[in-house]
Amino acid sequence: MKLALVGIGGAGSRLVDTIRGVETAGDRKLCYGHLLTVDISRTVDDEFDHVPPEKHVTIGDTHREVDSGVDGDQDLAVEISRTDFPEIHRTLDSIPMRKLDGVLVVAGLGGGTGSGAGAVLVERLQDMYDKPVYVLGVLPGEHEGGRPALNAARSLRSLVPAADSVLLFDNDRWVSGSDADTDADDNDGYARANRELASRIVTLFARENTDPESIGANTMDSSDLIRTLSPGGVASIGYAETDLDDGGGFLSWLRSLLPGGGDDDSDEPTDAVKIQSLVRQALNSRLTLPCEVSSAERALVVLSGPPEELSRRGFESARQWLEEETETVEVLAGDDPRAGASTVSAVVLLSNVTEVPRIDSLQRRAVEHEGAGENEDRNGTADPVQATDESD
């Protein structure tokens, strides 16, 4: 799938830089260099490794209330992004959207810029293009306090109905307590979390393969991903990977774990078991967003590795198992053949999950922060971001 990457705010821009780095380091292609980062500041951020200067847009630099950012002020970010949107639009015009399958907007939802300007940008992109607009949003940690929780809660109420799907990443599950207490700009824990998330995004979405001999009958394409994400709502990603050994490959490794696994007559059942084991690990490991798996409306699993290690029977077995776990028949399964790969991996996408304790706690924290103030509605949840100017 070919996606334009658009990073909003400091966190979103750093993550786009990391995703592009993972893409260029391997043979998978995702954005093909079609990317853009946007931040609100009086100074230009030039610390990116993989985002060219001409692909970074600084807005709000002449606004009297802006210094190094908006200091968590979501409404100020909304105002500036509306006013300065022509600056963003000019750079967007350089991206050949007609050649792409969609757009992935990347933002930290606890910050003022990511949560405020991100909501504005998604609304504008939906008006401008007839391609899917997805969001990759990073939730703030509990330690960050009430204001980031309020920003995230408000932005989710705007982004979920506006975007074609919102993929979420919960920092609390990925950044240790000691790392969480230090600034994200210079923090190994956050950098590791960004790399983990970036690898999952590239593995899930980057399906391009120029070697005809390695394209399998079960190979995923962009339509499978679009179909899985089409219900909208919130999505979560699971991932598992294992190294291939030098003495018989992945099958022999997994066979050794089974009773009687060394017997030749165990070859047939081993194939199904090895796929199920990897998919089970992906689903039961750290999801990008912890959720009740059975609340997903649709699911997708992609298995990646050398073609000889992947089989049709294994795919069907994995699909059936995932149907049972998610309690849905809307499950797609396919492969991503990687000739010469030294690992076999499984990535699972859960679409439109509805039972997410982390979002519930985020909403409660937001309401507590706001108290009985003007941003609480009848349901006790934070009001959405007013991304669209009512005078438009």
Residues flagged as binding site = 112-114, 144, 171, 194
Q: How far apart are CA 167 and CA 114, in angstroms?
A: 15
Closest CA to 110 of 149, 164, 160, 62: 149
Q: What is the DSSP letter of 173?
A: G
Q: Would you say how long the chain is, in residues?
A: 392
Q: How far apart are CA 102 and CA 235, in angstroms?
A: 17
Provide the CB-side half-sphere exposure for 38 (13 A, CA).
31
Closest CA to 148 of 186, 194, 199, 112: 112
| Cβ pair 145, 163 in contact under 8 A | no
Token pair belonging to 341: 């790969």
DSSP E strand stretches across the chain = 3-8, 35-40, 56-59, 102-108, 133-139, 165-170, 234-243, 298-305, 331-337, 343-351
- Quick one: which H or E segment has residue 161? helix 146-162
The binding site for GTP comprises: 112-114, 144, 171, 194
Q: Which residues contact 243 (CB under 8 A, 6 or more apart)?
A: 342, 343
